[in-house]
Structure 1
Amino acid sequence: MDLGLKGKNAIVCAASSGIGRACATMLAREGANIVINGRTADTLDETAAEIRALAPDVTIKTVVGSVVDQSVREALAAAFPQIDILLNNAGGPPPGDFHNWTRDDWIAAVDQNMLSAIELIRLTIDGMAERGFGRIVNITSSAVRVPIPVIGMSNATRAGLTNFVFGLVPQYSSKGVTINNLLPGPFDTGRLRNSKEITMHLTKNPVAGRVGDPEEMGAMCAFLCSHYAGYINGQNILMDGGLYPGSY
């Protein structure tokens, strides 16, 4: 299936590993030019080289730094003459007990998981609308649907992003721009493997008998960015292997 992504230009945040990397790889294999972002230059360069090897006919650029930094966001938005696809993605705030979280902790979480995505949307969405095509996909969390007590800051900030962006859908849908959220449950990523506390809460009812493969998320992301997905808009698409009881 040709997804119609050849020659499109995409921003993929937090793409040096895990789900972000899988999404960037899939978009590039479908012919999209990619600018990828990550905090560690060596890791980001390795990722870019591996994607180039898989998709030698596309352009892969890198921007090192955190999307919390406005200069990083502006560099991402300026990486290509036009941006057709925006994939917002960022690691979640640390788990813990809400009694111990300070105002500064909350502000940092809001910056990382809500305001950074909103600002990237602001920098790119009007150009998409003027050209009559745009795809915005936000990687959030299954916790938007079923909050997980130990990651309360993630629950709150990702739900806030969800409600904000869905308020934009009526303004841009008729202009060819879609905004959707992908809600991963437990996927085989470094964050999941390195956090016993999170793993315990996410996998206590492993209906599927496994965690997700990031490549599965990448494939769904690529489809949502395709010309076939123009009538899918304002959706929370849960990918959790059936853990959420409302799935069946």
Structure 2
Amino acid sequence: MDLGISGRYALVCASSQGLGKACALELAKAGCTVVINGRDADKLEAVAEEIRAATGAIIITVAGDVSLAATQSALISAVPQVDILVNNNGGPPYRDFRQIDRAAMLEGVTGNMVTPIELVQKVIDGMVARGFGRIVNITSGSVKMPLSGLDLSSGARLGLTGFLAGVARSVAHANVTINFLLPGSFDTARQTSGLSKKAADRGVDVATVKAESEAGIPAKRFGEPSEFGAACAFLCSAQAGYITGQSLLIDGGAFPGVL
């Protein structure tokens, strides 16, 4: 399927691995020039070479913490214009809410709510003026089904969703859409790290913990990053102009609700 975005400029935050990388790859396959981002410059360049080799697309790297103003400016100035913005950032670690002090709360809200809003502020007027824009915010399945220990992540991402819900309606007339992708359990390095910690805490092997986790998902498996990337690319497509303000949960059926 031709997504109708060949030649567009895409900015994908936190895209040196995992779901961000998968989104960058799919947008490159669709013909976009893609700016990728991560904190490790060497790792980022290796990923850029991988995507270039796989797609032939122009891939531009901007290393740095996306929460910092200097990194945001570098990302946006790396291309003539931003047609597609994929907001992504690492979430706060598992922690009992009693252990979260004010500094940690502010850091979590800055990373998972304030930072994506700042980037939206920087690109949205240009999108409106040109009559095309696609903004996809990677949040979490915990927005629909909050998990104990991820309270800060859930709260910050819920705040982002609520904040941008009205913004999405205010720019829809200009063919600018804002949507949210909510991942459940995916086969990523972050997932593997979490499984390893659980296995160590219980004194069992990782395979046991993984099998137990997959058994609780109706699909009976973790998602593949490529599946997530494909969903992101569609929401960025020319054909998705009538989809806005929506939260798409991708979790293999794990969430038991209907909304």
Q: TM-score, normalised to structure 2's length? A: 0.92
Query: Are the equivalent residues in 1 in contact too, given 2:179–2:246 (CA < 8 A)?
Result: yes
Alpha-carbon distance change, 101 to 204 in structure 1, aligned in 2, over 3 angstroms? farther
Distance 2:74 2:44 in 1: 15
Match of 1:174 in 2: 173
d(CA) in 1 for partners of 2:222, 2:258: 16
Post-superposition Cα deviations, 1:134-165, rounded to whole Å, max 9, x if no partner, equal 00000000000010111111110000000011
Question: Which residue does 2:22 correspond to in 1?
Answer: 22
3-state SS of 1:86 partner: strand
- Map of 2:201 onto structure 1: none
Q: Which residue of 2 aligns with 1:53?
A: 53
Question: What SS does the corresponding residue of 2:220 show, helix, strand or coil?
Answer: coil
Distance 2:3 2:258 in 1: 27
Further displaced range: 66-75 or 193-202 = 193-202
SS of alignment partner, residue 156 of structure 1: helix
* Residue 221 of structure 1 pairs with residue 232 of structure 2: yes
Partner of 2:204: none
1:158 paired residue number: 157
What number of residue pairs does the alignment pair up?
247
Q: Verify: 1:75 aligned to 2:74, yes or no.
A: yes
In 1, Cα distance between equivalents of 2:88 and 2:35: 13
Cα separation, 2, equivalents of 1:194 and 1:118: 28
1:136 partner SS: strand
- Give the counterpart letter for 1:29 in structure 2: K
Q: Is the 8 A contact 1:185 1:202 kept in 2?
A: no
Q: Unaligned stretches of 5+ in structure 2?
A: 199-208
Deviation at 1:175, TM superposition (A): 0.7
- Give the SS at the match of 1:16: coil
The letter for the 2-side match of 1:224 is L
Once the two structures are TM-superposed, the CA of residue 195 in structure 1 deviates from its matched residue by 1.1
Q: Secondary structure at the match of 1:187?
A: coil
Letter in 2 for 1:150: G
Q: TM-score, normalised by structure 1?
A: 0.96
Identical columns (%): 49
CA-based RMSD: 1.6
Unaligned runs of 5+ in 1: none
Give how far 1:208 is off: 1.0
Q: Match for 2:25: what amino acid?
A: T
Corresponding letter in the other structure for 1:181: F
Compute the displacement of 1:170 (Å). Answer: 1.8
Once the two structures are TM-superposed, the CA of residue 203 in structure 1 deviates from its matched residue by 5.4
* Amino acid in the other structure paired with 1:51: I
> CA–CA distance in 1 between the matches of 2:222 and 2:46?
25
Q: Secondary structure at the match of 1:150?
A: coil
